[in-house]
Amino acid sequence: ADPLVSVEGLSVDFATPRGTIHALRDISLEVPKGKVLGLVGESGCGKSTLAYSMIGLLAENARVAGGAIRMGGQDLAHLKPKAWRDLRGTRIAMIFQDPMTSLNPVTTIGKQMIDIQYREPISRSEKRARAIEFLEQVQLPDAAAKLDVYPHQLSGGMRQRVCIAMALLTRPDLLIADEPTTALDATLELQIVTLLRELQETFGCSVLFVSHHLGTVAELCDEVAVMYAGEVVERGHVREVFHAPRHPYTQALFDCDPARIRQATRQLPTIPGTLPDLRQPPAGCAFRARCSKAFGRCAAEHPPLHAAGPGQVARCHLNDPAEDVA
């Protein structure tokens, strides 16, 4: 499919008192138009940093050290704050893990929805009608009455539904969701994921879905990018990557048993060993210290993304056609 967003060789550093952390290194991926891309990996792998860089919300101490994020002729990685004010919340919207990140506790739901900046001029009464329509879209019971309530009067699941309605109000081209169901129990999580899938199909927007939960990614996403230590180590169609993972990290996550993914625990499986120090990323493969398949080349030679199947790539020497491994 045609990409909506192309991330091209993106690198992001964080300046900290203990040194520069190379949090994203040479990230390349595409968010396809009208599809859902899942982003998975352990905490600290850089998936949230990548998500935040696509909506211009990187922390103060972050610096784009290289690359670009292309969308509609613009480079989001180097956009001025003024340009972000026109894009954020209109063409690109975000839902967060904690709904209260985007809700104002002292303002009614209705006022917050009516105050949203639209791409086109629209009257107050139209805004009100649209707010009700979108609260119905996210299946909030008694939608019109919800305009008068404050966030604390709603349950966690309902608050997240309100956030989804608010994010979609302006019909964004890209919706970014950073672990939006992590704070919910399993039943609510399934409801929200089903809702997101339905809304994505209704509105035809692209979604970047950041998640720890492989079962959710299998349910919701068309494509997936697996991150490890600030790099993309594997990407491709969900079906292919989940059934035939080609990077030892992805294989370890799935425990080589695709049948178990749907009922997988809500946390990623723990793989023994520790992440490399991202102040000094290792010269060879970043996964080497934890890889049961490491061999000679892995210590010195940094693996590129090798073609690993139709539309699938993996950053591992074992996928190098020159490597004669059975």
CB of 46 to Mg ion, least distance (A): 9
- Residue 259: which residues within 8 A CB-CB, separation 6 or more? none
CB of 316 to Mg ion, least distance (A): 24
CB of 133 to ligand SF4, least distance (A): 49
- Residue 188: which residues within 8 A CB-CB, separation 6 or more? 156, 157, 181
- Exposed (0-12), middle (13-18) or buried (19+): which is 142, by Cβ within 10 Å? exposed
CB of 218 to ligand SF4, least distance (A): 23
Residue with Cβ nearer Mg ion (43 or 117) = 43
Q: Which does 48 bind (CB under 5 to 8 A by kind): Mg ion, ligand SF4, none?
A: Mg ion
Interacting residues with ligand SF4 between 257 and 296 (CB under 6 A) = 285, 287-288, 291, 293-294
* φ, ψ for residue 262, nearest 5 deg: -65, -35
Q: Report whether 68 contacts 8 (CB < 8 A).
A: yes
Residue with Cβ nearer Mg ion (50 or 291) = 50
CA distances from 133 to 95, 110, 116, 201 (A): 19, 12, 15, 17
CB of 320 to ligand SF4, least distance (A): 9
* φ, ψ for residue 170, nearest 5 deg: -90, 10
Does the protein bind ligand SF4 through residue 235 (CB under 6 A)? no
CB of 139 to ligand SF4, least distance (A): 43
User: In what helix (H) or strand (E) does residue 172 lie, and over which residues does it extend?
Assistant: none
Please pick, from the candidates 160, 166, 303, 306, the single residue that binds ligand SF4 as defined by CB under 6 A. Answer: 303
Residue with Cβ nearer ligand SF4 (180 or 276) = 276
Can you say whether the dihedral through the CA atoms of 168, 146, 103, 211 is positive or negative? Answer: negative
Helices vs. strands in the chain: H and E counts, helices first: 10, 12
Residue with Cβ nearer ligand SF4 (13 or 42) = 42
Neighbours of 10 (CB within 10 A): 25
Each residue 6-45 as x (binds ligand SF4 by CB under 6 A) or -, in order, gives ----------------------------------------
Q: Which does 294 bind (CB under 5 to 8 A by kind): Mg ion, ligand SF4, none?
A: ligand SF4
Each residue 27-56 as x (binds Mg ion by CB under 5 A) or -, in order, gives ---------------------x--------
Q: Report whether 13 contacts 22 (CB < 8 A).
A: yes
CA distance 321 to 178: 36
CA distance 308 to 234: 9
CB of 48 to Mg ion, least distance (A): 3
Residue with Cβ nearer Mg ion (41 or 215) = 41
**Interface ranges with Mg ion (CB under 5 A):** 48
**Interface ranges with ligand SF4 (CB under 6 A):** 247-248, 285, 287-288, 291, 293-294, 298, 303, 316-318
